[in-house]
């Protein structure tokens, strides 16, 4: 990942939010960022509809996604702008970018380059496990894998780069 340490709340060229009618029924993109300057983004495969990941964008990431057509996010663990695929080559090309009713969540539909994977662990989707159903009620829930295997080996792609997953 190319680290760009920018202020997540830096000003961006979006419309000010002036009325409920404007936000819900109007044609202005007037996104609502949270106290950290971020907006959540659900990213799905434009072809299959599969949910690939949930990530966050700051204003700059959203703006760059719109202007370049490639998905950009804000990495909360690394605190930097993140052009998806900068290291791995698994670039996400925007097919469609939607905003929800109150404009506080983004839905990005993408075409993924290369192996088609979007998860740094090596899977196609970040949601590669589901909670097992029908287990004993008095035991902690267990997970089952939903993909038959990884699409790439993270060691080959990221080398010794620190894992962004935080405990």
Residues 6+ positions from 67 with CB-CB distance below 8 Å = none
**How many residues comprise the chain?**
167
Q: Does 90 help bind Zn ion (rule: CB under 5 A)?
A: no
Task: Quote the CA–CA distance of 95 and 119 in Å, as a whole number.
Answer: 19
How many other CB atoms sit within 10 Å of the CB of residue 132?
A: 10
Q: Does 1 help bind Zn ion (rule: CB under 5 A)?
A: no
Nearer to Zn ion, 51 or 126 (CB): 126
Q: Does 86 help bind Zn ion (rule: CB under 5 A)?
A: no
Q: Does 157 help bind Zn ion (rule: CB under 5 A)?
A: no
Nearer to Zn ion, 53 or 62 (CB): 53
Site for Zn ion in 53-72 (CB under 5 A): none
Question: If you ran DSSP here, which 8-state letter would residue 70 be given?
Answer: B
Distances (CA, A) of 10 to 27, 67, 143, 150: 23, 17, 40, 37
Nearer to Zn ion, 9 or 75 (CB): 75
User: Encoding tokens for residue 16?
Assistant: 């000010």
Q: Does 42 help bind Zn ion (rule: CB under 5 A)?
A: no
CB of 4 to Zn ion, least distance (A): 21
Determine which residue in the list 107, 126, 147, 151 makes contact with Zn ion, applying CB under 5 A: 126
Nearer to Zn ion, 15 or 147 (CB): 147
Task: Quote the CA–CA distance of 117 and 151 in Å, as a whole number.
Answer: 6
Q: Does 119 help bind Zn ion (rule: CB under 5 A)?
A: yes
CB of 23 to Zn ion, least distance (A): 31
């Amino acid at each position: 990942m190319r680290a760009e340490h920018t202020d997540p709340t830096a000003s961006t060229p979006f419309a000010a939010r002036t009325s409920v009618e404007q936000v819900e029924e109007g044609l202005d993109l007037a996104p609502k960022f949270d106290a950290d300057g971020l907006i959540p983004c659900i990213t799905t495969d434009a072809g299959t509809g599969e949910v690939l990941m949930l990530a966050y964008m700051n204003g700059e990431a959203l703006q760059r996604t719109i202007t370049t057509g490639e998905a950009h996010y804000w990495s909360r663990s690394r605190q930097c702008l993140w052009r998806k695929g900068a290291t791995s080559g698994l670039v996400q090309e925007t097919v469609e970018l939607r905003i929800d009713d109150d404009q506080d969540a983004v839905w990005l539909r993408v075409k993924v380059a290369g192996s088609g994977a979007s998860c740094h662990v090596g899977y196609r989707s970040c949601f590669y496990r589901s909670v097992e159903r029908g287990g004993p009620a008095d035991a902690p829930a267990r997970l089952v894998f939903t993909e038959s295997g990884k699409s790439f080996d993270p060691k080959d792609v990221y080398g010794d780069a620190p894992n962004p997953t935080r405990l």
